[in-house]
């Protein structure tokens, strides 16, 4: 089958022919319909920990084309699905709870030995899969994973979001989906700080009630727009220095939610956070219940997300599109369509 393969740091992805996957117990093979490029994929290719030959891609949806042994009842060829990007052991408490990220022996699809969605076919375990009804398009199915990441974050906000004044820092795909959920759960003001004007303007479509100039005095601009400081700051950038900036901006007793994935060392001033008695929470990944909630909301037309897709590319176009995303642009979500 055709796949986009990582070779080494500094080189673009290579389109190669690799072996077709074979389903194991409880698994199926899916024909990938769409797969999104994630910031995590970009970060992984900038470091030396990603094995040569890795096929990335963990934001995907597809159709079941082959079934392995001991598959749960109710699944058949032709079924449509999306999946958490993990294969857990299936026997521990984390797997039973639908939280395979916490499984001690989990494997991650697209970031190691397991072939990801930058391929014509991939294998998934049905313990982590969620069926897609016909009313959910393939593009929408590929958006479930990033939507679940931000949903997982905001679901744990102290005392909920209703009526709160929220500052969202960063309007990349995760920032935009965070804005969407803040609006969905009833935040009073959702103010976005983003350097790229294209992405900043895009956030208005997702429910942002105002924008601030990220290069200016963000705190003062926020107060001018809302009449009060932010009760909640959500960091969606994931670069060193942003958490410290959140601590600086936060008023006494505020909450900081860190969703941006930063893989480099960072520092904050604990004394300042302590003086303000801030609550800070870090989140990663998602639960199966987050996936199901996203699918249900899309199917019920409770959220409108397909316009998040700003480009769809073929295998031939993927390496160039992937490299282009290393520089911030007005692109939101770029998807691979293996059939193009």
Which residue among 245, 267, 282 closes a domain? 282
Shared domain for 187 and 216, answered yes or no, is yes
**Is 298 domain-assigned?**
no
The pLDDT assigned to 75 comes to 96
Range of the domain at 220: 150-282
* pLDDT for the residue 85: 95
**pLDDT on residue 43:** 87
Per-residue pLDDT tens listing for the chain (340 residues) = 999 999 999 999 999 999 999 999 999 999 999 999 998 899 899 877 789 999 999 999 999 999 999 999 999 999 999 999 999 999 999 999 999 999 999 999 998 889 999 999 999 999 999 999 999 999 999 999 999 999 999 999 999 999 999 999 999 999 999 999 999 999 999 999 999 888 899 999 999 999 999 999 999 999 999 999 999 999 999 999 999 999 999 999 999 999 999 888 999 999 999 999 999 999 999 999 999 999 999 999 999 999 899 999 999 999 999 999 998 777 889 999 999 9
185 in any annotated domain? yes
pLDDT of residue 78: 98
Structure tokens at 304: 């409108």
Same domain, 47 and 88: yes
332, 253: one domain: no
- Rounded to whole angstroms, how far apart are CA atoms 166 and 209? 10
- Residue 195 belongs to a domain: yes
User: Sheet harboring 232-235: ordered strands across?
Assistant: 210-212, 189-193, 165-169, 232-235, 255-258, 279-282
Report the C-alpha gap between 146 and 141 in whole angstroms.
Answer: 10
336 beta partners? 35, 313
Q: Indicate if 115 and 195 belong to the same structural domain.
A: no
Asked if residue 138 is part of any domain, the answer here is no
pTM listed for this prediction: 0.95
Query: Using N-to-C axis directions, what is the helix angle for 197-205 and 173-184, rounded to 10°?
Result: 30
What pLDDT sits at residue 92? 95
How far is Cα 11 from Cα 288, in angstroms, rounded to an integer? 35
Together in a domain, 68 and 109 = yes
Residue 136 lies in a domain: no
DSSP secondary structure letter of residue 131: E
Q: Report the chain's terminal Cα–Cα distance, integer Å.
A: 14
Query: 108 and 200: one domain?
Result: no
CATH code for the domain of 196? 3.40.50.720
Counted domains in the chain: 2
Tell me if 192 sits within 8 A of 200, measured CB to CB.
Answer: yes
Which CATH number do you get for residue 106? 3.90.180.10
pLDDT of 330 reads 76
């Amino acid at each position: 089958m055709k796949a986009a393969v990582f070779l080494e740091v500094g080189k673009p992805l290579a389109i190669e022919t690799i072996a077709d996957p074979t389903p194991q117990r409880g698994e199926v093979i899916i024909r990938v319909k769409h797969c999104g490029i994630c910031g995590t994929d970009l970060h992984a290719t900038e470091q030396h920990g990603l094995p040569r030959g890795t096929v990335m891609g963990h934001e995907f949806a597809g159709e079941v084309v082959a079934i392995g042994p001991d598959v749960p009842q109710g699944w058949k060829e032709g079924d449509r699905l999306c999946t958490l990007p993990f294969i857990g052991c299936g026997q521990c408490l984390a797997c039973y709870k639908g939280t395979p990220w916490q499984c001690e022996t989990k494997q991650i699809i697209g970031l190691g030995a397991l072939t990801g969605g930058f391929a014509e076919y991939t294998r998934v375990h049905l313990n982590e899969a969620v069926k897609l009804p016909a009313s959910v398009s393939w593009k929408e199915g590929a958006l479930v994973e990033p939507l679940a990441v931000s949903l997982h974050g905001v679901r744990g906000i102290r005392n909920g979001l209703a009526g709160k004044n929220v500052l969202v820092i960063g309007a990349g795909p995760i920032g935009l989906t965070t804005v969407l959920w803040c609006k969905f759960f009833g935040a009073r003001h959702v103010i976005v700080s983003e350097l790229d004007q294209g992405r900043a303007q895009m956030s208005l479509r997702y429910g942002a009630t105002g924008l601030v100039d990220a290069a200016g005095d963000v705190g003062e601009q926020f107060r001018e727009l809302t009449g009060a400081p932010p009760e909640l700051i959500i960091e969606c950038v994931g670069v060193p220095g942003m958490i410290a900036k959140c601590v600086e901006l936060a008023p006494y007793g505020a909450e900081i939610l860190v969703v941006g994935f930063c893989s480099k060392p960072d520092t904050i001033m604990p004394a300042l956070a302590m003086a303000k008695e801030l609550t800070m929470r870090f989140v990663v990944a998602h639960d199966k219940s987050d996936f199901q909630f996203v699918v249900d909301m899309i199917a019920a037309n409770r959220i409108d997300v397909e316009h998040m897709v700003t480009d769809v590319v073929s295998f031939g176009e993927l390496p160039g599109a992937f490299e282009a995303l290393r520089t911030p642009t007005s692109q939101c979500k770029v998807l691979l369509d293996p059939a193009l």
